[in-house]
Amino acid sequence: MSPRPRALAAAVALVASVPALAGRPAKSVMVILDEKTERVPNGRQAFKHPAPDQLTQALMAALMADGWSLVLPPPDAPKNDRRAARELAKKAGAAVVITGRVRLCEHPPQPKDDPVIFPLTGVVELVAASTADGVVRAAADLEQSLSLSDQPRGENSYAGKAGLLVERIKAALWPELSAGLAAHLAAR
Amino acid sequence: MTPRPALHLLLGLLLAAPLAARAAPPVKTVAVVVDETVGTQAPPGSAPEAPEPSDEVATLLTRALMAAGWTVILPPPCPPIVRAPDARDLGRLANAAYVVFGRVRFSKHQLATFGGLNDDPTSFPATGVFELTVVSTADGVVLGASTGKLNVATPGAKGSDGLSRTNVSHDRTIHDIVHRFRKDELLTPVLEALEGHAPAASAQGGSR
């Protein structure tokens, strides 16, 4: 191969190595949320344990229903680091990264003699950004709770009530998130 | 035109496009880089937990800037920004006309060590400090800086100041401090610095 075609081939390989130029699917997204649940058994002590990624699952289901293809992060993906998450998603070929922090809190039942009341509160913050240029398309922060009056009987566990709370959080987040994702698609 | 020059032209355009875009960031683009952590005040006799990262103030700034018509850039990973020249470099790397950088430190307090609330098992006090700086990428000029304390208006006083609503969890307390009690102190200096400088930048040519 003469020098000129070789240089040309190298240039083509360089271009192909850049996902943004090589045609990264516009509707591909990676979701990396840091979800934890804090338990407050008596108000004086708190135990924090990882939550089962319920909001992550709920958002991924909604994104798939909206026609997005999901790029799963590796198990050791950096959580709670938006900028590192953008780089990871970019390298993995996702056009958008959704990253954020979810903190649920399990409270002692009030009144204490009611065995089926499981009070829960939650705080969420997240952003959705295009991985190619880093432009933030949506940002949300909210607090949600299950008050004593709106706890359906039958879900007699904190885990069951957490599912209900997460659905509410997702419903509250979705309008802004979907509008931001639409803006991402329109900008391409 | 022979096929080879056409291919060269296409390659040139593909390679030049990102560079051209990087050369002139739109006036109202800003990168937000806030180093935030939430620590837990350890009870006497126990080892302190490592602080965990947070993005409460970054999210507040991002939402407010987007609502004001700014394009917010999530920049690439970088070491914590503590000086204006570093912020300027990051702004260039992120293709942002401005950079908001700073530091936020929150601390969750144990009830036994927070005066006045010892007998209330439903109180979750938290306090913090912040410092925020706005830098213009084009010339590295510091456009504004603010520092302050982050807490509820009158710790321990339930009722009129809304503190009783925050007595749900430490995370809820911090959320309410950022998004309700200290929102204006966090936002106003940043927005004023940016909005005060961006019109002048627009008049000088539309992009910087």
Query: Residues A101-138: pLDDT tens digits?
Result: 999 888 776 666 566 677 788 899 999 999 999 999 99
For position A17, what pLDDT does the model report?
Answer: 47
Which of A181, A69, A68, A166 lies closest to A122 in space, CA to CA?
A166
For position A20, what pLDDT does the model report?
Answer: 46
Q: How confident is the model at residue A1 (pLDDT cuts 50, 70, 90)?
A: very low
Q: Which of A172-186, B39-53, B79-93, B136-150 has the lowest mean pLDDT?
A: B39-53
Cβ distance of B60 and A136 shorter than 8 Å: no
| Contact residues, chain A, for B120 at CB < 8 Å | 43
Of B11, B56, B60, the CB nearest to A11: B11
A147: Cβ contacts below 8 Å, ≥ 6 apart = A119
Phi, psi of A94 (to 5 degrees): -85, 140
Q: How confident is the model at residue B81 (pLDDT cuts 50, 70, 90)?
A: confident
Secondary structure in 3-state letters for chain A: CCHHHHHHHHHHHHHHHCHHHHCCCCCEEEEEEEEEEEECCCCCCCEEEECCCHHHHHHHHHHHHCCCEECCCCCCCCCCCHHHHHHHHHHHCCCEEEEEEEEEEECCCCCCCCCCCCCEEEEEEEEEEECCCCEEEEEEEEEEEECHHHCCCCCCCHHHHHHHHHHHHHHHHHHHHHHHHHHHHHHC
| pTM, 2 dp | 0.81
Q: Does B94 touch chain A (CB under 8 A)?
A: yes
Q: Does A69 touch chain B (CB under 8 A)?
A: no
Cβ distance of B54 and A101 shorter than 8 Å: yes
For position B206, what pLDDT does the model report?
Answer: 43
What's chain B's average pLDDT? 79
Query: For residues A146 and A77, is the Cβ–Cβ distance under 8 A?
Result: no
pLDDT tens by residue, B87-134: 999 999 999 999 999 999 998 877 655 555 445 556 778 889 999 999
For position A148, what pLDDT does the model report?
Answer: 63
